[in-house]
Every structure is written in C-alpha cells, then in structure tokens.
Amino acid sequence: MHTVMRIYNGAPQLANELAARGNEVKNLISTVPGFIAYYLVRTDEGAVSITVCDTLAGCDESTSRAADWLRTNLPNLKMNPPQVLSGELALRFANYNTASV
C-alpha cells in the first residue's frame, strides 16, 4: 500500500471549502484505481490531505486529480503549491468504532 500527503499552506479556508464540497471530493478521489482511504486534516495554515491506495500509481493519480479539481473548482483560492510527500505504508491500524467524524 502507498500513501500520499498533500500539505496545503497559505489557505486557511481550504479545509472548510473541501468539507463543504465533501461529496464532490469523495466522488473524485474514491474512484481512483486501488483507492483505500482519504482523510482531510484542518490546520492553522490550510489543510493536509492523506490518500491511501494499493499502488503508487493510484496515489499519483489522486494528486493529479486533486490539482485539476482545485484549479477548476476553486480558482480564486489563493494558496501556495502543496508540498507532496509519498511513500509505502509501513504500519496501519484504526479503531473506527470510536470515530466521530
């Protein structure tokens, strides 16, 4: 499994914009081949998105789709280009029984 994190700084409203359009984001990213999970983290400076896919190619596709979607759907949102970090997933676990999001 592979993971990509896109770190968006300089746009504190980005997470709110993405959350408000959650269904669009879900439809965009969840159809990436090999998609496993997506998370959006609100930060003081913007947001961090985390996508997990079966393959590196899936993570690369999610990054390409995200960039295209942002350009098309939020063209007036001023932000720095995201820092993109990706790699092979080394450990995972979750307890979704206690999740409130």
Number of structural domains the chain divides into: 1
Over residues 67-97, the pLDDT tens digits come to 999 999 998 888 889 999 999 999 988 887 7
Question: What CA dihedral angle connects 26, 27, 28 and 30, to 10 degrees?
Answer: 70
77 lies in some domain: yes
47 lies in some domain: yes
The token pair at 10 is 């300089």
| CATH assignment of the domain containing 70 | 3.30.70.100
Q: What's the pTM value of the predicted model, to 2 decimals?
A: 0.88
Over residues 37-75, the pLDDT tens digits come to 999 999 998 999 999 999 999 999 999 999 999 999 998
Query: CA 92, 39, 15 angle in degrees (round to 5)?
Result: 150
Write the burial class of residue 14 (CB in 10 Å: 0-12 exposed, 13-18 middle, 19+ buried): buried
3-state secondary structure of 15: helix
